[in-house]
Structure 1
Amino acid sequence: MTTKVVKLFKGVNWLLFVTWYTQIAGMLSFFILARYLSKDDFGVIAGCFVVQGFFAVIANVGTNHYLIRKKEVTKEDLDIAFTINFSTRTLIAIAIFLLANPLASFMKIPDLEMVLKVMSLSPFFIGLHNPAVSLKLKDLDYSAISYLRTITKTISTTLTVVITIYYQTYWAVVVGEIAYQAIYAIGSYRVAAYKPKFRVVDIQNQWTFSKWILLKGVASYSKNVCDNVIVSRNFVLSDLGMYKFSKEASNTVVNFLIMPITSIFYTGLSSYVEDNQQLVDKIYKFLMVISLLYMPVVFGGVYLSETLVPFVFGEKWADTSSLFALFLVMTFARNFNQVFSDVFVLIDQVKKQFLYELVSSVIVIAIVVMVSSLPLFEFAICRVILAYLVLLSMILYLSKMIPIRVGRVMKIMILPFILSGAMTVLIHAIDGYIIQWSDASRLLVLIGTGFVFYLGACLFTLNLLKKRVPDYRYLYESVILHSMSVITAKIGAKLSRR
């Protein structure tokens, strides 16, 4: 195994730890919020993050992407990145504060005005982040960043949970978000000792790259959240709360399982940009890992949704089970979309990506507006279908630039689809015998049985087919066997110390 791959695996270990920790903290916070806040409260939170997210996209000029993909980064590059980032974020903070009232009126959420004014502090603190942290990511050095994220998430989550329990208000989310960004900004200067300065000389090169990141981000975000805006204007606040809750609940699983892997995707593949064949090969392998990990979650989550949602989040959310199942299906497309979106940046085709995002956003928004009169569940079905059509169109468009093929992507999903389907048939059969059990016991048995069956079936199938299918051989030998050897070595080292 090459030094680069070994370093990548070490980076994965660090990132897996910190991301799983932060996601567990996030899941805990979300569970508490679901238990203590009302559907209307979730509606206010949804409106806040739709607006906040839009402005965050406008301010995200891709300075970290620029620094990571550049072969040699100078002090001047870091200073320019800080200048661009701080300036845009500060302008956005001012804009959110000044536009809070008309935005609250447009979203038809009166309580949103004060929330937005306070939340305008968040982009200001983001603008203070040290750009030199990107160099740590570029070198796959995740240790110090991992400590920073862990400490920051612990403090912000504690604040959110305590305020939620004692005051039962959506302000807990606002305080937690601002605390996170402020603490991370301070900590970023401990992680990376470099102190950036304002610099406008030679800013053009970096801004030329950044402006396309900004434009494609605006188009992409508009496409992704237009349904939330439609729901806020066409339905009552509690419906928006249900819609927001269902999306977030389905995303908790994605964030826990897939986020640690996708977080290193861009930095891990940045060294292959000069060789399209190698780059595409790594993309296929990455998609295969995602499919094998996440496909059974989608199948199992959809099957168990009617029991899982009220058991985990409370009976008041029982009527969102169908929405949860729908959005869980959509998260699979979201994972793949994120991968291919990063590929555009990797191959330096941000301008073409913007054109794609612009055209697809106009089409998606037009369709969403056309179906806005449908009942909430039927509206959500249309949104899920659109997500997969967008994914298909993105792959086809990308295939004009690199040798990636729709057929190969679909072929990657065949094995996890078959094994996940077999797992679902098995737990359905078992469920018929334990349907009268308590929800806790039933979920424990079904999830445990499904996990053991799927894991065993994967190992058996990959070992059986590794000589015939190169991708399976790579997954079995380079990922599974390597991971097992690392775990065995660590256990052996701990036992020897005793």
Structure 2
Amino acid sequence: MKPKNVWRKLSQRFKKVDSPFTRNLGWLGLSGAVIRVTRLLTTVVLARFLTQHDYGLVAIVLTVNDIVRVFTRNGIGTRLIQAKAEDISQLAQSAYWLNWAISIALFITQCIAAFPLAWFYRDDQLILPICTMAISLLLLPHGLVQAALIQRENRLKAIAVVEMVQFSTDNILSLIFAIAGWGMWAIILPKLLVPPIWVYIMLKNHSWRPKLKFTTVGWSDLLRFGRNVLGVELLNNLRGNLDYLIVGRFLSIEALGIYYFAFNAGLGISLGIITSIKSALLPHLCDARANLPQFKQRYFSSLKTISLIILPMVLLQSSLAPIYVPIVFGEKWIPAIPVLILICLSAIPRPFADSASQLLIAVDKPQIDLLWNVIFTVLFSVTLLIGVQWQSIGVATTVLLIHAVCLPLFTIWVTQYVFKRLSAVEK
């Protein structure tokens, strides 16, 4: 069957699905599947052509860029998704110029930070790639408002397509550059080359264009709402990268290379699906806020969908790791298998906690989500510093235990709090 016919049949099936959440999750899942296939091929090639030291350097460079880049996920887009229709025109214009101010500041910050970081990790090879990665920050403001408006309109098919094209191109370029012998640059350069693709597709899929007149009107509204969302993103990002920073500093660059490989090979697929769930859930919930029974039904139905997707996938992947890692990636990565299994299992409670966070944002309670993330990050940091005493396996065990204990408690409490409060208000 021709690819065009396959795509047409998939489109027709998705259109027949009644639930917008399931339909959007289907598109994002399809996109994720294509991305994971190309990433798997790339990971296999990288594992065979890159050294553990290369992996360690890449882990530091990408971690630094990821920490800086989180400031672009600052709640401005979330505010546009959640705002009233009559406020969108002015807020979108304000958001455009605020995004530019933030991106320029972040570009300068990342370039300056490259020098003390190279000193901290005792490796001058980090300076140039960290500064090179910063250039991509200057492309984001061209499409951030359009991306938020597309998500607001629940047209996540466009988001799925751009992610599929962008990340698949990134993966394929990395594969080609690795075979060409470019070392760590095989991973870094594609992340500079593909953002223009994202900008082009965003502009093509939404007609909104900024006025050329600079304005700061509405910045206070955007920043006031966004500070809680940004706080949560910062803490999520810190937790997502803290283990890298600790392993790289307290163990070695080579140990970090093994840990980074295990994390991406074990959790990479799951994190992609979790991100898709998070993207689809917020507009799905916000659309039903005025109808409590429907709002409640959508939330619990989403949790059921998450269970059916995440549980079988994670359990299957973790149980088969001892078999597929040496065959697919090579015997030199056998020491990473125990770490991979532990990290993979930590994916199970994550999407449920993310759903609870989206529930809080949908009912205008992002400050509670921020408070929880502060508490969880402190606990996570302390336990990681204890776990690193037992090398990489201790860090991975800590990651699993802290997620398995804390995230279910948070999910249960938020669910009870929100729906008890809404029921009381309705009565």
1:99-248 pair list within 5 angstroms: 99-197=113-211, 198-248=214-264
**Structure 1 Cα separation of the partners of residues 276 and 229 of structure 2:** 23
The Cα RMSD (Å) is 2.5
**Structure 2 Cα separation of the partners of residues 148 and 379 of structure 1:** 35
1:68-467 pair list within 5 angstroms: 68-72=81-85, 74-197=88-211, 198-255=214-271, 259-275=275-291, 278-399=294-415, 401-403=417-419
Determine which structure has more spread, i.e. the larger CA radius of gyration: 1
Residues 224-233 or 186-195, more deviating? 186-195
**What 5-or-longer segments of structure 2 have no aligned partner?**
1-14, 421-427
Aligned to 1:22: 35
Tell me: CA distance 1:63–1:163, structure 2 relative to 1, closer, same or farther (3 Å).
same
- Indicate conservation of the 8 Å contact 1:36/1:168, yes or no: no
- Indicate conservation of the 8 Å contact 1:20/1:260, yes or no: no
Tell me: CA distance 1:273–1:32, structure 2 relative to 1, closer, same or farther (3 Å).
farther
- Indicate conservation of the 8 Å contact 2:235/2:374, yes or no: yes
- Indicate conservation of the 8 Å contact 1:280/1:402, yes or no: no
- Indicate conservation of the 8 Å contact 2:342/2:400, yes or no: yes
Please state if 1:43 is matched with 2:59.
Answer: no
CA-CA distance at 1:199 after TM superposition: 2.4
For 1:327, the aligned partner's letter is I
**Structure 1 Cα separation of the partners of residues 97 and 298 of structure 2:** 34
Please state if 1:32 is matched with 2:45.
Answer: yes
Tell me: CA distance 1:193–1:388, structure 2 relative to 1, closer, same or farther (3 Å).
same
- Indicate conservation of the 8 Å contact 2:251/2:391, yes or no: no
- Indicate conservation of the 8 Å contact 2:28/2:160, yes or no: yes
- Indicate conservation of the 8 Å contact 1:220/1:358, yes or no: no
For 1:248, the aligned partner's letter is N
Structure 1 SS opposite 2:388:
coil
Deviations 1:343-378 (A, max 9, x none): 222221112221221122122212222333223212
Aligned to 1:52: 65
- Indicate conservation of the 8 Å contact 1:121/1:178, yes or no: yes
For 2:79, the aligned partner's letter is Y
**Structure 1 Cα separation of the partners of residues 200 and 136 of structure 2:** 13
CA-CA distance at 1:229 after TM superposition: 1.2
Highest RCO, 1 vs 2 (Cα 8 Å, sep ≥ 6): 2
Aligned to 1:439: none
**What 5-or-longer segments of structure 1 have no aligned partner?**
405-498
**Structure 1 Cα separation of the partners of residues 79 and 172 of structure 2:** 34
- Indicate conservation of the 8 Å contact 1:29/1:160, yes or no: yes
CA-CA distance at 1:261 after TM superposition: 4.1
Residues 237-246 or 166-175, more deviating? 166-175
CA-CA distance at 1:277 after TM superposition: 5.0
Tell me: CA distance 1:298–1:150, structure 2 relative to 1, closer, same or farther (3 Å).
closer
Match of 1:62 among 75, 91, 103: 75
CA-CA distance at 1:96 after TM superposition: 0.4
Structure 2 SS opposite 1:381:
helix
CA-CA distance at 1:169 after TM superposition: 1.0
**Structure 1 Cα separation of the partners of residues 19 and 373 of structure 2:** 36
CA-CA distance at 1:307 after TM superposition: 1.0
Residues 140-149 or 194-203, more deviating? 140-149
CA-CA distance at 1:342 after TM superposition: 2.0
CA-CA distance at 1:113 after TM superposition: 1.8
Deviations 1:423-463 (A, max 9, x none): xxxxxxxxxxxxxxxxxxxxxxxxxxxxxxxxxxxxxxxxx
- Indicate conservation of the 8 Å contact 1:93/1:124, yes or no: yes
**Structure 1 Cα separation of the partners of residues 187 and 181 of structure 2:** 12
For 2:100, the aligned partner's letter is F
- Indicate conservation of the 8 Å contact 2:282/2:358, yes or no: yes
Deviations 1:93-148 (A, max 9, x none): 11000110102222444422221111111222223324123222222224444444
Structure 1 SS opposite 2:189:
helix
Structure 2 SS opposite 1:111:
helix
Tell me: CA distance 1:55–1:320, structure 2 relative to 1, closer, same or farther (3 Å).
same
For 1:339, the aligned partner's letter is S
- Indicate conservation of the 8 Å contact 1:107/1:229, yes or no: no
Structure 2 SS opposite 1:402:
helix
Residues 92-101 or 194-203, more deviating? 194-203
TM-score for both structures, normalised by structure 2: 0.86
Structure 2 SS opposite 1:273:
coil
**Structure 2 Cα separation of the partners of residues 307 and 3 of structure 1:** 39
**Structure 1 Cα separation of the partners of residues 166 and 242 of structure 2:** 31
Structure 1 SS opposite 2:105:
helix
For 1:34, the aligned partner's letter is A
Deviations 1:21-48 (A, max 9, x none): 2332233322322222111111111111
CA-CA distance at 1:279 after TM superposition: 3.2
Aligned-residue sequence identity (percent) comes to 20
**Structure 1 Cα separation of the partners of residues 178 and 319 of structure 2:** 31
**Structure 1 Cα separation of the partners of residues 122 and 281 of structure 2:** 39
Deviations 1:363-419 (A, max 9, x none): 221222233322321232122101122303422542463138xxxxxxxxxxxxxxx
